[in-house]
Structure 1
Amino acid sequence: MKISNVGGIIAAASTKLARPMLQVGAIPIIKRIVISFRQAGIFPIVIVIGHKEDEIKYQLSSYGAIFIHNEAYEEPPLFDSVKLGLSYLQDKCDKVIFSPVNVPMFSPDTLRRMLSVEGDIITPSYKNQGGHPVLLSSEVFQSIIEYSGDNGLRGAISAMKEKRVWLPVDDPGILYSVHNHQELKEHLEEHNKAILHPYLNITLEKESLFFNGRVKLLLFLIYYTKHVRNACDKMALSYSKAWDILNKLEKELGHAVVDRRHGGKHGGRTDLTEEGLQLLVAYQQFENTIFSHAHREFERIFLKKGVL
């Protein structure tokens, strides 16, 4: 079962090329991309890391990101990170939005427009110049993963040019990269307006909180990895903390959400119970509904009336 329709991939591994912690305004560029992805309802968000991975995890561990390590991060082609991300998400999402970390200034509205267009490969363009991010449908995942020709992702997409849709957008941020830091700074005020949003932290509570987005991500990862420890590794969560979360969740609900199977030839295994899976799916649907409604109302009440 696919829990989510649209996932995201951010390539941030390269030692020489990626600058994920570059500060533009009050936050690093990688956080800008994650904020934009979250505003567009993208889940899960996979960050392919290597260089500065501890700093990235520290900055984003509470943002519901999944971290995948690129072993060849000293000098990996960007395309390696694309393949790693797609390989991870190909059985989990119908569509993926991909962005290199060095292009952080596109707007959430551009993402929403891309998601509203039919096509297997959607590339935004500003004044006839293509930029990032790029939307890929599951129909092209395997072709991109298997591509071994020249020019990386650009070459893989060119080999399927009949599947590509160009989407004109009024967003110069799709072109701005860290190679022109001054350009990023000049676009900062406009981008801050674009990412202005209500912060929604949806929780389920009785006398205290027992379910939120971080618990959702833990269940999501357990569902796919079948191991709590592997799930923890991918979301920068300690193993003991994960079991504290799961034990509290089960106590509050009055039933099991994970099925623990110890030992065996290949070690222990943990899966979601039917009730745990139903909870995960229901929370994801509830969150999507609330976020969509909140965005419409925020725009109607604050933006259209010129309050902000």
Structure 2
Amino acid sequence: MKTGALIIASGDYGERQQDNEGIPVFLPMYPLDGTTVIKGEIAKLRKAKISPILVLTGCHSETLQLHLSHNNVVIIEDEDYQRHSFFDALVLGLRHAKEQMDRVLVLPVEYPAFADKTLEQLLVCEHSAVPVYEEQPGWPRSIVMDADLDEPQNAEDCWIQPNVEHLFTDDPGITYSLLEENGVDHISQYLKDRWNATTLHFRNKLVISREEDFFGPGVYDLLKYIDETGSIQAAAAKMNMSYSKGWKIINRAEKELGFRFLNRCNGGKNGGSSTITPEGRVFMERYHAMVEDMRRMTQNFFDVYFGEFQ
């Protein structure tokens, strides 16, 4: 049975997703798990040897096609995407899929957190199938393209036929959508946790010392949160740290380095506030840059020495 995939990425997803500099990013091209949302999905489908991969575009179609120009996918453009519902997009995609494959895995682009093992389970199902996690259906879903398959009258028609299998799985990622409230943060953390649990990896930490350690990840994170909130108290609370301990570790770092990290403004009608000094910001930026360089260099060495154990 020839199995392909249909990624539905034709919607107008708005511009609620922003990159690290606050610039709006089109959802399929949002950075996620070391790549972009849609490229990550394509990579997982390819790993499962699913081909061809059809991508239904609409909003920002030219930009998305350029983004995928070297990914060997079949682009289907929905020129009427602004009027089309998800069901309309699905029907359009199925018309093209029926000509090229016996079975299609349908994936709305906003569901990127499915596991490799879910694809493997879907591929051994003989009939159309819906993955289910704790009684909640998820994505991707498979449709067997029978010769006598009629066009569905609504989106659920494809998966309520008598021979549709319900594939019960322990993969919660099938239910996570980027369009949910805090969906990007939720999925990013979920993928990170899953990677940590299943992949051999290393940890390194940069600690700066004289006679004693005085600057490391904890101090850096505290200062970063102070920069975000303008408040030592709020930053300490975010790290489950006492207010007094927050002051103590900042004072120690300032004493060792001979300059202030914070401009303090005490009291007043709205309470005190703190901002990062120019010297403090330069030091933080250099610390972060060195941490990233260490991570990249150490990853290269790790791959050389331990790659065969992955």
Shorter chain as denominator, the TM-score bin is 0.5 to 0.7
1:33 is displaced (CA, Å) by: 1.1
| Partner of residue 152, structure 2 | 147
1:182 is displaced (CA, Å) by: 2.2
Kept after mapping to 2: 8 A contact 1:122/1:166: yes
Kept after mapping to 2: 8 A contact 1:123/1:135: yes
- TM-score, reference length from structure 2: 0.56
1:20 is displaced (CA, Å) by: 1.2
CA distance in 2, matches of 1:37, 1:72: 27
**What amino acid is aligned across from residue 183 of structure 1 in structure 2?**
H
1:113-262 mapped onto 2 (5 Å cutoff) = 113-119=121-127, 121-139=128-146, 142-143=149-150, 146-148=151-153, 152-158=154-160, 160=161, 162-178=162-178, 179=180, 180-190=183-193, 192=195
1:74 is displaced (CA, Å) by: 1.8
1:155 is displaced (CA, Å) by: 4.0
CA distance in 1, matches of 2:10, 2:107: 12
Change (3 A) 1:153 1:192: farther
Kept after mapping to 2: 8 A contact 1:40/1:108: yes
Change (3 A) 1:134 1:90: same
CA distance in 2, matches of 1:167, 1:63: 29
Give the match's secondary structure for 2:149.
helix
| Partner of residue 87, structure 1 | 95
> For 2:4, which of 4, 7, 18 is the aligned residue?
7
**What amino acid is aligned across from residue 5 of structure 1 in structure 2?**
K
Sequence identity percentage: 26
CA distance in 1, matches of 2:8, 2:148: 16
**What amino acid is aligned across from residue 165 of structure 2 in structure 1?**
V
Higher relative contact order (CA 8 A, sep 6+): 1
CA distance in 2, matches of 1:78, 1:123: 17
| Partner of residue 275, structure 2 | none
CA distance in 1, matches of 2:135, 2:68: 34
CA distance in 2, matches of 1:29, 1:95: 23
**What amino acid is aligned across from residue 76 of structure 2 in structure 1?**
I
Change (3 A) 1:156 1:118: closer
Change (3 A) 1:167 1:38: same
**What amino acid is aligned across from residue 167 of structure 1 in structure 2?**
L
CA distance in 1, matches of 2:29, 2:188: 15
- TM-score, reference length from structure 1: 0.56
Change (3 A) 1:44 1:193: farther
1:190 is displaced (CA, Å) by: 4.4
Kept after mapping to 2: 8 A contact 1:6/1:97: yes
> For 1:22, which of 15, 26, 30 is the aligned residue?
30
**Which digits, 9 at most, give the CA deviation of each residue in 1:13-52, with x for residues without a partner?**
0114783122223322111111111011111100000112
Kept after mapping to 1: 8 A contact 2:91/2:152: no
Give the match's secondary structure for 2:8.
strand
**What amino acid is aligned across from residue 50 of structure 2 in structure 1?**
I
CA distance in 2, matches of 1:43, 1:166: 23
CA distance in 1, matches of 2:48, 2:171: 15
1:191 is displaced (CA, Å) by: 5.3
CA distance in 2, matches of 1:194, 1:41: 24
**Which digits, 9 at most, give the CA deviation of each residue in 1:45-88, with x for residues without a partner?**
00000112223222222111000000111242112221122111
| Partner of residue 46, structure 1 | 54
Kept after mapping to 1: 8 A contact 2:131/2:166: yes
CA distance in 2, matches of 1:25, 1:7: 24
1:96 is displaced (CA, Å) by: 0.6
Change (3 A) 1:56 1:171: same
Larger radius of gyration: 2
Give the match's secondary structure for 2:28.
coil
Q: Which runs of 5 or more residues in structure 2 are unaligned? A: 15-25, 200-305
Give the match's secondary structure for 2:146.
helix
Kept after mapping to 2: 8 A contact 1:5/1:95: yes
Change (3 A) 1:55 1:108: farther
Kept after mapping to 2: 8 A contact 1:106/1:191: no
1:5 is displaced (CA, Å) by: 0.6
Q: Which runs of 5 or more residues in structure 1 are unaligned? A: 197-301
